[in-house]
């Protein structure tokens, strides 16, 4: 069991945030990439520190925690859902989020059709590497999946295979960018603390960061 992160320091988080923004600018992508703070391991009473540090976009992996954290800080943050999506949780998630990043099943589409609105926007998760047992639509099945989606698809998301270096993720990020381009989709959620710079170079519009923002030393 992973311990929750406590005693965040707003000044340190702000320093980390500015460093990441500087790296994004150095890659020629200033103003084009949103920094999402992944808060799976942050308790609700630590979230105010992120606001103090200048972070406004948060992502949560679990529906019940998203609901509790959003209700605990009403109106303070924009929320995205970034975890594995159980279709039965769609109704619970929708009132709180801007995007669900992980739509990848017909059962989720059914629930979005029941509980979504014309304003509902989602990202479709794509298994670009074709990993067995991993969530995500196969690239060759994406066109049909988009046709069946009853709400607005704003873009795509992927999680590349575990790799020893960030550079090994580059082909997967490039493949997602090319796939999004073919379908006219603007948003690309890709890149975490381990590989976000490569993702930014390959066109990410949202990077999902945790330890890079929270610790005094880049992992």
Average pLDDT per 10 consecutive residues for the chain, totaling 219 residues: 84 98 98 98 96 98 98 97 97 98 98 96 97 94 98 98 95 98 98 97 98 79
- The pLDDT score that the predictor gives to residue 105 is 97
The class that CATH gives domain 10-214 is: alpha beta
Distance, CA of 182 to CA of 133 (rounded, Å): 26
Distance, CA of 17 to CA of 27 (rounded, Å): 16
- The pLDDT score that the predictor gives to residue 9 is 96
- The pLDDT score that the predictor gives to residue 218 is 45
- The pLDDT score that the predictor gives to residue 219 is 43
Q: How deeply is 1 buried, as exposed, middle or buried, from its count of CB atoms within 10 A (0-12, 13-18, 19+)?
A: exposed
Phi, psi of 82 (to 5 degrees): -120, 0
CA proximity to 127, closest of 147, 112, 141:
141
DSSP secondary structure letter of residue 8: -
Domain assignments of the chain as residue spans, ordered by start: 10-214
Strand 99-103, strand 121-125: pairing: parallel
Q: Which two tokens stand for residue 187?
A: 């948003």
Number of DSSP helices (H) and strands (E) in the chain, helices first: 9, 8
- The pLDDT score that the predictor gives to residue 38 is 98
Distance, CA of 5 to CA of 199 (rounded, Å): 25
């Amino acid at each position: 069991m992973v311990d929750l992160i406590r005693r965040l320091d707003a000044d340190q988080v702000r320093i980390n945030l500015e460093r990441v923004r500087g790296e994004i600018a150095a890659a020629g992508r200033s103003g084009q990439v949103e920094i999402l703070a992944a808060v799976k391991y942050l308790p609700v009473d630590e979230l105010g520190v992120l606001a103090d540090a200048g972070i406004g976009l948060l992502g949560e992996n679990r529906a019940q925690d998203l609901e509790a954290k959003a209700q605990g800080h009403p109106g303070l943050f924009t929320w995205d859902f970034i975890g594995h999506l159980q279709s039965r949780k769609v109704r619970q998630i929708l009132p709180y989020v801007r995007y669900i990043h992980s739509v990848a099943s017909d059962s989720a589409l059914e629930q979005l059709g029941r509980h979504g609105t014309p304003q509902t926007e989602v990202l479709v998760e794509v298994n670009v590497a074709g990993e067995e047992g991993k969530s995500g639509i196969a690239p060759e099945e994406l066109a049909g999946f988009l046709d069946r989606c009853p709400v607005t698809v704003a873009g795509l998301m992927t999680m590349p295979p575990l790799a020893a270096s960030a550079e090994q993720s580059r082909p997967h990020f490039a493949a997602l960018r090319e796939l999004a381009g073919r379908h006219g989709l603007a948003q690309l959620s890709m890149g975490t603390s381990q590989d976000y710079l490569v993702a930014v170079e390959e066109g990410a519009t949202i990077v999902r960061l945790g330890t890079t923002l929270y610790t005094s030393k880049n992992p």
